[in-house]
Amino acid sequence: MIASLMLAAAISGAVDAELAFARDAQRVGQWTAFRRYADADAVMFTPQAVWARDFLKGRKNPPRSVRWRPSASFSSCDGRTAVNFGPAFTAEGKAYGTFTTVWQRGARGWRWVYDGGGPIEGNPTIEGRPTVRSAACTGKTPGPPIAPPPPLTPRQARNTPQDNGRGQSADGTLGWDWVVTKEGARRFRAFLWNGAIYEQIVYQQVAAP
């Protein structure tokens, strides 16, 4: 019972971090909030992959921030890594897309390491409670959630115009990867261990601009 309560608290922590991030964007400014909650190695997209620390450095806040809220949150078994997903809104409250944020909890608390947007899904509203799900803490995982891609040959390394990345929780029960083409199209996937297999929980496809 105590272990279940501790895990629930850890999962809700990622949701709380997202909500605090979104509130601060309204209170102190959009890019100020992005800087405040970003990990040192966080990545975002313009549409090519960029280090958040470089993109955000000295960037002035817009007059009004965009809004967002998590509609789903997926946590690793150990409660230290989470993927949040939900709708995004203009400053006036009109839905225009979705967001995906990967969060990790370390010595400095919760920090986001991946931030990406995607096309709108359905007709979301600014209000709503997120569904929360954690990875199974039973069963032996067969390996990393997402197998690393095969190494490129020297020629491929020179001529493959793509950028990609991957990550996983420390306990191996949650993993994600992303790839951006030279045209700026992007794909994001996340997988959660359910006790028997790695289940795909998020698939986000973003067309080139």
CATH match of 2-206 with 3.10.450.50: yes
Q: Note down pLDDT in tens along the chain; length 209 residues.
A: 444 344 334 435 899 999 999 999 999 999 999 999 999 999 999 999 999 999 999 999 999 999 999 999 999 999 999 999 999 999 999 999 999 999 999 998 999 999 999 999 889 998 889 999 999 999 888 888 988 777 778 887 777 667 999 999 999 999 999 999 999 999 999 999 999 999 999 999 999 99
3-state secondary structure of 60: coil
d(CA 13, CA 107): 14
Containing H/E element for 56? helix 52-56
Position 134: which residue type?
Answer: S
d(CA 176, CA 202): 9
Beta bridge partner(s), residue 86: 99
